[in-house]
Chain A
Amino acid sequence: MKRRLFIKQTGILAGAAMVAPSLMSAKKKETKLVILHTNDTHSNIDPFPKNHAKFPDMGGVSRRAALIKSIREQEDNVLLLDAGDIFQGTPYFNKFKGVLEMKTMSEMQYDVVTLGNHDFDIGIDGYVKAKEHGTFKVVNANYDLSKTAMHSHVEPHVVIKKGGLKIGIFGVGIDLDGLVAKENTSGLIYNDPVASANQQVALLKQKGCDYIICLSHLGFEYPTDKMSDKILAQKTEGIDLIIGGHTHTFLDAPVVLKNTKGEDVLINQVGYGGLHLGRIDIQFSTDLNKTTIGECVPLTSKWDLA
């Protein structure tokens, strides 16, 4: 007994001795966060048909699952996100009412998704029923769902801890008027995405988040002044990254815009149908040499395209 206690104590001591020098020499400590994302997957379980006019034999959840698995084997801190419209587009949805979309996304271990307009296509009750098969979190901050069956299934934001980082993730959705049959959104109240976003950022900052991601189904941009990711990025503050959807926009690389404070906001979107998997690697560093109080180190954007 004595001997074991002794070993334990020296173990602690040794541990402390190891921490101390590392603290002393830690001029730079790096943590890498890998953000994987999809949007508008639209019930595309199988790859597109081999005779598809534009995207023959592309996509498919089995390939996506394998790719995500291989990334998880290489990386410690992986976040898997989706920007909405997981429903509608193939007969899998018509026949199984969203159950298979939920099951496959859970199998891939999606962390957080937001709501797209088509996610209301079988009504609020339909979504909630399918969601029984989904293990991921659903975020939206600008739909008041308190009077609907969704209220206990959708949160304005979530905070996820990865590798010592606190990642705040909130969602914003498009105005559903004219996009979804009224009876399918009964009780839902739409609020301004900009006001909702600023509110969420403030809350997430209060909670000590190191990085703030907005999952948006507003759409990348419009020829009119209709609310979009581009407008949201420029009219808010504190959002680091917008993962967008709805407009099925294929971006070659994230677009970088300035927010109201002149800080960079990244926007990314990867088309639709699970044709592409988006990946953004963020390197966080506690660089004791460079970082002084109140100074901001600019984000360098080196986009490595594949």
Chain B
Amino acid sequence: MKFSFLILLLGAGLSACSSLLVVSDAQSKRTVMNGTLQTDVQMDSLIAPYSRELAIEMNQVIGEALVDLSPMRPNSNLGIWSTDLLIEFAKDSLNMNDEPLIAILNTGGLRASINKGPITVGDVFKVMPFDNSVVLVKIDTAKISSIVDYLFGSISEPIAGFKINKGVFEMNVPNDKPYIWVVTSDFLANGGDKMTFFKDPLEMRLSGVLLRDLMISSVKKQQKLTTTNEERISW
């Protein structure tokens, strides 16, 4: 109180400077929030009922990771796993067995790693927290060059069904049709991350299946997740 009174008094006589206050010193410090810090009882009791409710659902162990699966550029085992399961789903459940089919996701959409060890429902939620659903987008093969351009611009995204071999697009199964189907998320198909090649598609089909639910069922089916470090994109 005394302090503000002081400023008022002195400030009255000044015109060029609105206040006598100056920053005389600034220091910064960041505290790493590790296990050596105390916890707060009140906060714990606020969180507890929510944690309990959530734990029942999330702590279910549904499989095991034999290695760390992490989202990285240009090639990541998590990206390969995620896009491979999209291809499998599209073939098995969306009648894409005899169609030219590729999968594209975004590195930024895979939000966490699956760490080596038991995999819980909660772990998959962390990887794919978004309620994105799986969609099929049919595009003209003329748009392949803009897919390559996009991947070049971003260095890479998770892909399956094709390779970028030293900058050249190669389908895993040669395609004689004038179109390809891309299995992806509704977020990307609708303009997310500016994947403009999805604009004005020949056709779009919604699966109504959440990408996360698909991941959960894949872990349950595969039980033990292991990966090969495959190079799908090279420039």
Interface residues in chain A, defined as those with a beta carbon under 8 Å from any beta carbon in chain B: 19, 22-23, 26, 29-31, 43, 45-47, 49, 51-54, 57-67, 69-70, 88-96, 100, 103-104, 107-108, 121, 163-165, 178-179, 181-182, 205, 208, 210-211, 240, 252-254, 266, 268, 270, 274-288, 290-291, 293-294, 296-297, 299-306
Contacts and interface: CB of A to CB of B under 8 A. Distances in A.
A44 to B, nearest CB: 10
A65 B43 contact: yes
B31 A253 contact: no
A284 B21 contact: yes
Contacts of A179: 192
B35 A277 contact: no
B168 to A, nearest CB: 25
Contacts of B47: 45-46, 61-62, 100, 104
A6 B156 CA distance: 82
Given A49-B115, A280-B26, A178 B33 contact: no
B24 A283 contact: yes
B226 interface: no
A53 B33 CA distance: 16
Contacts of B4: 164
B25 A19 contact: no
Interface residues of B, number: 68
Given A57-B34, A286-B6, 5 more contacts: A60-B33, A63-B33, A66-B43, A293-B17, A299-B25
Contacts of A57: 34-35
Contact of A302 (B25, B31, B117): B25
A85 B181 CA distance: 34
B30 A306 contact: yes
Interface in B106-139: 111-113, 115-117, 121-123, 125-126, 129-131
Given A210-B19, A280-B27, A92 B42 contact: no
Contacts of A287: 22, 24
A268 B33 contact: no
Interface of B: 1-7, 9-10, 14-35, 37-40, 42-44, 46-47, 50-51, 53-54, 57-58, 68, 70, 111-113, 115-117, 121-123, 125-126, 129-131, 187, 190-194
15 contacts: A45-B51, A59-B33, A60-B39, A61-B43, A62-B43, A66-B39, A95-B53, A178-B194, A274-B33, A275-B33, A276-B30, A281-B27, A285-B21, A286-B6, A291-B22
B19 A211 contact: no
A178 B58 contact: no
A284 B129 contact: no
B193 A163 contact: no
Nearest to B15: A293
B33 A281 contact: no
A306 B26 contact: no
B34 A181 contact: no
Contact of A211 (B23, B131, B194): B23
Given A62-B43, A300-B25, A178 B2 contact: no
Nearest to B70: A53
B28 A254 contact: yes
Contact of B115 (A29, A45, A53, A276): A53
Contacts of B16: 293-294
A286 B31 contact: no
A88 B121 CA distance: 16
Contacts of A65: 39-40, 42-43
Contacts of B46: 103-104, 107
Closest 5 CB pairs of A and B: A164-B4, A283-B25, A65-B40, A62-B39, A66-B40
A24 to B, nearest CB: 11
Contact of A297 (B24, B70, B193): B24
Given A107-B43, A208-B19, A276-B32, A266 B26 contact: yes
Given A53-B113, A59-B33, A178-B193, A283 B23 contact: yes
Nearest to B4: A164
A40 to B, nearest CB: 11
A288 B22 CA distance: 11
Contact of A164 (B3, B24, B43, B193): B3
Contact of A286 (B20, B38, B129, B193): B20
A295 B173 CA distance: 73
Contacts of B33: 47, 58-60, 63-64, 67, 274-277
A284 B27 contact: no
Contacts of B43: 61-62, 65-66, 104, 107-108
A167 B186 CA distance: 43
A226 B17 CA distance: 36
A179 B39 CA distance: 35
A274 to B, nearest CB: 6
A68 to B, nearest CB: 9
Given A51-B115, A66-B39, A69-B40, A94 B30 contact: no
